[in-house]
Amino acid sequence: MPEDSKFQVSIDQSKRIIHELALLKEEEQGSKKEIKTELEQLKAQKAQLEEEIQALEAEKQERLNRETAEIKDVIAQMVQQGSQDLQDKRQELQQAVEQLERRRDRAQEEMRTTFAGVSQELAVRLQGFKDYLVGSLQDLAVAAEQLDLPSLEATPTESNPPPAETPPEKQAISPQFTQQEWQEEANQIRTLLDQYRTFPDYYGPPWQLRRTFEPIHADRARDWFFSLAGRGAIPTMGSRLQNILVASSIISVLRELYIEQLRVLVLADSPEKLGEWRRGLQDCLGISRSDFGPTRGVILFESPESLVQRADRIIENEDLPLIIIDQSENEVDLSLLQFPLWLAFAKDFQETDNYTF
């Protein structure tokens, strides 16, 4: 039975192999099921993650849209508010411009209707006072000639020739801008005023006008030179700085004519106003603080008495004083009228009768 044994052994081996194959197949099937299960789980997780991603993206987009809308609303409100503010400011500026234009028109109308007559009246009054002074001096001269002084006649004529010659020397720098013999000087004055108005030189030499010179300023200066002959009051420009500009143009012209012989004496009733005059003249004429002082080109005074004393000494030195009276001075001291050049700024030129001499 050896063959039967071998056959039995091979059968057993075959069964064992078949059994092992069956086990392997079962394991393989189990593995496939597990893999399939895991794959299904992964697919489910993937689908869940995709849904979450879509939800997050939707939430993100919604938030961006909401924030963008809020930002747009804020920007729109800011633009609207800024536009409203600009519109309000524009209306305010338009109202201010309209008010200034109305004031300008009223001022021009008043100047056209009242300034010419009042200026002529003042010129007539000043000319009458001048004629009175001249007549009084002539009467005094005639009375002096009629005095009988035989014992003193020879000696004074020998000892006083220099004083007899001094009046012509002082008269040489006494401006009379309206007389015919001063026609060349008058033409030079007009040329300088036109030059300041049409070709301003903001970097010119000291004592030359350096600021914008409008026609109204030129008219004030021209009236003072030729209508008032350099002696009288003109209407205020409305502010001290504008008055200083007009005075600076006159100073610049006279400085061109008389060079260092011109001495400017400014009268105001407070140190603050004199300070404004000093700063304004420095700015308009390009001069420095060293040009101000008792022995300099410009001297500042608070009282007419001290100004008169200084002006007398200037004339004794054969120089030419120009007296400038601030608009705050309501009265012109009578002693100031003896000097060849004086300029006053009247506060209310329509009430010239209240401007006391």
Decide if pLDDT at 262 tops 90.
yes
CA–CA dist 287, 207 (Å, integer): 6
> What pLDDT sits at residue 160?
45
Decide if pLDDT at 206 tops 60.
yes
> What pLDDT sits at residue 132?
58
Decide if pLDDT at 159 tops 50.
no
Share of the chain above pLDDT 70, in %: 75
pLDDT digits (tens, 9 = 90+) for 98-136: 888 888 887 777 666 655 555 555 665 666 566 556 655
Average pLDDT for residues 60-77, to the nearest whole number?
A: 92
Higher pLDDT, 174 or 284: 284
> What pLDDT sits at residue 104?
85
Higher pLDDT, 52 or 28: 52
What secondary structure does DSSP assign to 187-220, as a single string? HHHHHHHHHHHHS--TT--TTS--S---HHHHHH
Domain 154-354 in CATH 3.40.50? The answer is: yes
Burial of 126 (0-12, 13-18, 19+ CB in 10 A): middle
Tell me which DSSP letter residue 353 carries.
G
* Number of helices followed by number of strands (H, E) in the chain: 9, 5
At 65, the amino acid letter reads N
- Provide the sign of the torsion angle of the four alpha carbons 26, 27, 30, 35, taken in this order: negative
Helix, strand, coil tally for the chain in percent (to 5)? 70, 10, 20
Mean pLDDT taken over the chain: 81
Domain ranges of the chain: 154-354
CA–CA dist 140, 146 (Å, integer): 10
| Nearest CA-CA partner of 315 in 335, 343, 332, 301 | 335
pLDDT digits (tens, 9 = 90+) for 314-349: 999 999 999 999 987 777 788 888 899 999 998 765
> What pLDDT sits at residue 161?
45
Q: Model's pTM, two decimal places?
A: 0.52
